[in-house]
Structure 1
Amino acid sequence: MIPSLKGEAEYVINLLKNIIEMIPDAVMVADRDGNCIMVNQAYKNLSGLSDEDVVGKPADIDIAERDSVLIKSIREGREFVNLLRRVGPDKREVLCSAKPIYIQGELVGSVGVMHDISEIKRLSRELEHKNRILRSLESKYTLDDILGNSEKILKAKEEAKACAGVSATVLLVGESGTGKELFAHAIHNMSPRAGGPFVRVNCAAINKELVESELFGYEGGAFTGSLRHGKKGYFEQADGGTLFLDEISEFSLQAQAKLLRVLQEQEVLRIGSTVPQKVDVRVIAATNRDLEEEVRRGNFRQDLYYRLNVIKITIPPLRERKEDIPLLCNSIIKKYNQKYGRGINSISKKALEILMSYDWPGNVRELENIISRAMINMDISEKEIKPEHLPDLVDNHGFLRQLSDGDIVVSVKGKTWDQVKREFEAKVLKFFLNKKKSKTAIAKDLGITRRALYKKMKLLED
Structure 2
Amino acid sequence: MKHKNNRKILAKAWHDFFILGKENISDVDEIILQSWKRSKGIDFENLLNLPTDKELIANSKRKNHILIDIAKPYMDDLYKIINNTNFMVTLIDKEGYVLEAIVHPKLVENTEFHLANISEDRVGTNAMGTCLYINKPIQTYGEEHYHKTLHHFTTSAAPIHDGEGNLIGAIGITGFAYDVSVHTLGMAIAAAYAIENKYKLFQEKQNLLVKGYSNLINYSTSDGVIILDSEGKITSANKHAENILGIKNEDILYKKVEEVLLGSIDFSKYLKSKEDRFNIKAVLNVNNKNISCNISLIKLKSDLELMGYILMINKDQGPNINIGRQRSRLYSFEDIVGESNIIKESIEIAKVASNGNSNILILGESGTGKELFAQSIHSNSHRRNKPFVDVNCGALPVGLAESELFGYEGGAYTGARKEGQIGKFEMANGGTIFLDEIGELPLSIQAALLRVIQERKVRRIGSTKTIDIDVMIIAATNRDLFEAVEQNLFRRDLFYRLNVFTINLPPLRDHKEDIPLLINHFINKYNKLFNTKIEGVTEEVLNVFYNYDWPGNIRELENILERSVQVANSKVIEIRDLPMYLRMKADNENIYKSNISLLDFQEKKILEENLEKNKRNIKLTAEILGLSRATLYRKISKLNIDVERYRL
Query: What's the TM-score once normalised by structure 2's chain length?
Result: 0.42
CA distance in 2, matches of 1:244, 1:149: 26
CA distance in 2, matches of 1:276, 1:356: 54
**2:593 matches 1:423:** yes
Aligned twin of 2:620:
none
**2:390 matches 1:220:** no
**2:482 matches 1:292:** yes
| 1:207 maps to which of 397, 407, 421 | 397
CA distance in 1, matches of 2:530, 2:509: 28
Aligned twin of 2:369:
179
The verdict on how the C-alpha distance between 1:394 and 1:242 changes in structure 2, with shifts beyond 3 A counting, is closer
CA distance in 2, matches of 1:181, 1:220: 33
Offset of 1:349 from its aligned partner?
A: 2.1
**2:598 matches 1:400:** no
Please show how residues 34-49 of structure 1 align to structure 2 within 5 Å.
none
Does the aligned pair in 2 maintain the 1:139–1:198 contact within 8 Å? Answer: no
Does the aligned pair in 2 maintain the 1:139–1:185 contact within 8 Å? Answer: no
Please show how residues 306-385 of structure 1 align to structure 2 within 5 Å.
306-379=496-569, 382-385=570-573
The verdict on how the C-alpha distance between 1:230 and 1:159 changes in structure 2, with shifts beyond 3 A counting, is same
Q: Which amino acid aligns with 2:576?
A: E
Aligned twin of 1:46:
none
The verdict on how the C-alpha distance between 1:260 and 1:345 changes in structure 2, with shifts beyond 3 A counting, is same
Secondary structure, aligned partner of 1:400: helix
Aligned twin of 2:461:
271
Does the aligned pair in 2 maintain the 1:235–1:243 contact within 8 Å? Answer: yes
CA distance in 2, matches of 1:219, 1:148: 47
CA distance in 1, matches of 2:394, 2:516: 33
Q: Which amino acid aligns with 2:568?
A: M
Does the aligned pair in 2 maintain the 1:141–1:186 contact within 8 Å? Answer: yes
The verdict on how the C-alpha distance between 1:241 and 1:391 changes in structure 2, with shifts beyond 3 A counting, is closer
The verdict on how the C-alpha distance between 1:152 and 1:459 changes in structure 2, with shifts beyond 3 A counting, is farther
Encode CA deviations 1:18-70: one digit per residue, 9 max, x unaligned.
xxxxxxxxxxxxxxxxxxxxxxxxxxxxxxxxxxxxxxxxxxxxxxxxxxxxx
Q: Compare 365-374 and 245-254 and name the one that shifted more.
A: 365-374
CA distance in 2, matches of 1:146, 1:431: 44
**RMSD, aligned CA:** 2.8
Does the aligned pair in 2 maintain the 1:333–1:371 contact within 8 Å? Answer: yes
Q: Which amino acid aligns with 1:314?
A: N
CA distance in 1, matches of 2:640, 2:438: 48
Offset of 1:460 from its aligned partner?
A: 8.6
Q: Which amino acid aligns with 1:265?
A: E
Aligned twin of 1:389:
577
Give the structure with higher Rg (CA). Answer: 1
Encode CA deviations 1:5-26: one digit per residue, 9 max, x unaligned.
xxxxxxxxxxxxxxxxxxxxxx
The verdict on how the C-alpha distance between 1:272 and 1:386 changes in structure 2, with shifts beyond 3 A counting, is same
Aligned twin of 1:149:
339
Does the aligned pair in 2 maintain the 1:139–1:189 contact within 8 Å? Answer: no
CA distance in 1, matches of 2:462, 2:388: 26
Aligned twin of 1:244:
434
CA distance in 1, matches of 2:442, 2:495: 13
Secondary structure, aligned partner of 2:421: coil
Q: Which amino acid aligns with 1:251?
A: L
CA distance in 2, matches of 1:431, 1:232: 63
The verdict on how the C-alpha distance between 1:334 and 1:229 changes in structure 2, with shifts beyond 3 A counting, is same
Q: Which amino acid aligns with 2:573?
A: I
Listed as ranges, the gaps of 5+ residues in structure 1 are 1-131, 403-408, 411-420, 435-457
Does the aligned pair in 2 maintain the 1:139–1:188 contact within 8 Å? Answer: no
Offset of 1:226 from its aligned partner?
A: 1.3
Does the aligned pair in 1 maintain the 2:576–2:583 contact within 8 Å? Answer: no
Offset of 1:339 from its aligned partner?
A: 1.1
The verdict on how the C-alpha distance between 1:431 and 1:195 changes in structure 2, with shifts beyond 3 A counting, is farther
CA distance in 1, matches of 2:640, 2:458: 66
Encode CA deviations 1:57-91: one digit per residue, 9 max, x unaligned.
xxxxxxxxxxxxxxxxxxxxxxxxxxxxxxxxxxx
Q: Which amino acid aligns with 1:430?
A: L
CA distance in 2, matches of 1:341, 1:140: 24
CA distance in 2, matches of 1:198, 1:320: 30
Offset of 1:297 from its aligned partner?
A: 0.6
Encode CA deviations 1:68-120: one digit per residue, 9 max, x unaligned.
xxxxxxxxxxxxxxxxxxxxxxxxxxxxxxxxxxxxxxxxxxxxxxxxxxxxx
Offset of 1:422 from its aligned partner?
A: 6.0
Secondary structure, aligned partner of 1:176: coil
Offset of 1:357 from its aligned partner?
A: 1.5
**2:466 matches 1:280:** no
Listed as ranges, the gaps of 5+ residues in structure 2 are 1-322, 603-637, 643-648
Q: Which amino acid aligns with 1:212?
A: E
CA distance in 1, matches of 2:394, 2:640: 46
Offset of 1:392 from its aligned partner?
A: 2.8
Aligned twin of 1:257:
447
Q: Compare 231-240 and 218-227 and name the one that shifted more.
A: 218-227
Offset of 1:371 from its aligned partner?
A: 1.1
Does the aligned pair in 2 maintain the 1:161–1:190 contact within 8 Å? Answer: yes
Aligned twin of 2:188:
none
Aligned twin of 1:20:
none
Offset of 1:230 from its aligned partner?
A: 1.1
CA distance in 1, matches of 2:594, 2:524: 34
Q: Which amino acid aligns with 2:574?
A: K
Does the aligned pair in 2 maintain the 1:168–1:311 contact within 8 Å? Answer: yes
The verdict on how the C-alpha distance between 1:385 and 1:272 changes in structure 2, with shifts beyond 3 A counting, is same
Aligned twin of 1:24:
none
Offset of 1:385 from its aligned partner?
A: 1.2
Secondary structure, aligned partner of 1:285: strand
CA distance in 2, matches of 1:424, 1:169: 53
The verdict on how the C-alpha distance between 1:424 and 1:288 changes in structure 2, with shifts beyond 3 A counting, is farther
Does the aligned pair in 2 maintain the 1:358–1:400 contact within 8 Å? Answer: no
Query: What's the TM-score once normalised by structure 1's chain length?
Result: 0.58
Q: Compare 215-224 and 347-356 and name the one that shifted more.
A: 347-356
Relative contact order (alpha carbons < 8 A, sep ≥ 6): 1 or 2 greater? 1
Does the aligned pair in 2 maintain the 1:199–1:234 contact within 8 Å? Answer: yes
Please show how residues 55-66 of structure 1 align to structure 2 within 5 Å.
none
Q: Which amino acid aligns with 1:182?
A: L
**2:495 matches 1:305:** yes
